Amino acid sequence: MTTQEALFKYTLRLGDNGLIQGQRLSEWCSRGPILEEDLAITNLALDNIGRAQAFLKYAGEVEGKQKTEDDLAFKRGEREFYNLLMTELPIGDFAYTVAKQVLISAYEYFLYTELSNSTDEIIAGISQKAIKEVRYHLAHAKDWSERLGNGTEESKARLQKAYDELWSYTGEFFETTEEEKVLAPSKVAATTKNFEAKWNDMINEIFTISSITPPTAGWMQSGSQNGIHTEHLGHLLSEMQYLQRAYPDAKW
């Protein structure tokens, strides 16, 4: 894999994580448990989509085939997306969304902290902005995790179930991808193994304050780094890409 190919795939993945997360979070619009939270979740979605736009635009430049961020978002197929599997899972109930947000935001907190010092200027710039957003996402999710875990019997049960079900999708966070092997030595990319322990510590702290029993470790889901996704992604893309695919000559 050349450096250019690695950088293209690396930035695609960063963009795709934002895009698919944003797409899922925006499903909460007009469905939130209270109006204030509807607006809060929409803000999270907007942050993610904005970040996706920035990374996909850069990815297009790196690839060098004149593709815009929209070309990349709306015209790639299921096997060309590199978002982490967890991001494409359905939103589930509010506990599921909160648990997902805790796990991913904690990961992104450490990822973007490291990428803020990337030797690639563009990645560093986007990451410096992202880290401010992610800190808020993490605070918001962590506070809700604490409330639900210590709220009622029902909220605690739902939250525990959510963490238990999502746990097998966390292994992927710390797989060393081919792109990382190429780009990490020059510190363009982050070395995810560097913060795996810190992430575990943070998650365990959140489990403790949420009165949650840490899920038992077991087999981990995998595949997104090779574009092998869950069955959910295809449906998500059908909906997201519909207008561009139905009207290929149209400019929107």
Partner 1 sequence: MGARSGLGFSTKTSEIILVKKQTNMTQDTQLDLWEVFIQGKAGGDHKHAGSVHASDGKMALQNARDIYTRRNEGSSIWVIPSKYVVASLSEDADMLFDPAEDKIYRHPTFYVMPEGAQQI
Partner 2 sequence: MSTAVDLHTSFQEKIDKDLKIEPKDAMPEDYRKHLIRQISQHAHSEVIGMQPEGNWISRAPSLRAKQILLAKIQDEGGHGLYLYSACETLGISREELIDQLQTGAAKYSNIFNYPAVTWADMGAIGWLVDGAAIVNQVSLQRTSYGPYARAMVRICKEESFHQRQGYEIMANMMKGTKEQREMAQDAMNRWWWPSLMMFGPHDGDSPRSGNAFTWKIKRQSNDILRQRFIDKTVQQAEVIGLTIPDKDLKWNEEKQSYDHGEINWDEFKRVINGDGPCNKQRMDHHIKYHNEGKWVREAALAFQQKQAK
Residues that bind partner 2 (CB under 8 A): 19, 22-23, 26-27, 29-39, 42-43, 45-46, 49-50, 52-53, 56, 69-70, 73-74, 93-94, 146-148, 150-152, 154-155, 158, 239-240, 242-244, 247, 249-252
Give Rg (Cα) of the chain.
Answer: 18
Q: Which of 33, 25, 29 is nearest to 52 (CA)?
A: 25
Token representation of residue 189? 């990319």
Query: 139 is in the binding site of which of partner 2, partner 1, none (Cβ under 5 to 8 A by kind)?
Result: partner 1
DSSP state of 77: -
CB 98, min distance to partner 1, A? 13
What is the residue whose two structure tokens read 């990382």?
Answer: 180
What is the residue whose two structure tokens read 């899920």?
Answer: 215
What's the rounded Cα separation, in Å, for the pair 60 and 193? 28
Determine, following the binding rule CB under 8 A, whether residue 209 of this chain makes contact with partner 1. Answer: no
CB 81, min distance to partner 1, A? 29
CB 149, min distance to partner 2, A? 9
**Contact between residue 223 and residue 229 where contact means Cβ atoms under 8 Å apart:** yes
CB 146, min distance to partner 2, A? 7
CA atoms within 13 A on the CB side of 119: 8
Determine, following the binding rule CB under 8 A, whether residue 220 of this chain makes contact with partner 1. Answer: no
Determine, following the binding rule CB under 8 A, whether residue 29 of this chain makes contact with partner 1. Answer: no
Q: C-alpha angle with apex 108: 82 to 20, nearest 5 degrees?
A: 40
Query: 1 is in the binding site of which of partner 2, partner 1, none (Cβ under 5 to 8 A by kind)?
Result: none
Q: 23 burial class (0-12, 13-18, 19+ CB within 10 angstroms)?
A: buried
Query: 53 is in the binding site of which of partner 1, partner 2, none (Cβ under 5 to 8 A by kind)?
Result: partner 2
Task: Report the site for partner 1 in 36-65 (rule: CB under 8 A).
Answer: 36, 39-40, 43
Interacting residue with partner 1 among 57, 140, 158, 229 (CB under 8 A):
140
Determine, following the binding rule CB under 8 A, whether residue 30 of this chain makes contact with partner 1. Answer: no
What dihedral do alpha carbons 152, 206, 167, 112 form, nearest 10°?
A: 140
Task: Report the site for partner 1 in 76-95 (rule: CB under 8 A).
Answer: none
Footprint of partner 1 on this chain (CB under 8 A)? 34-36, 39-40, 43, 139-140, 143, 147
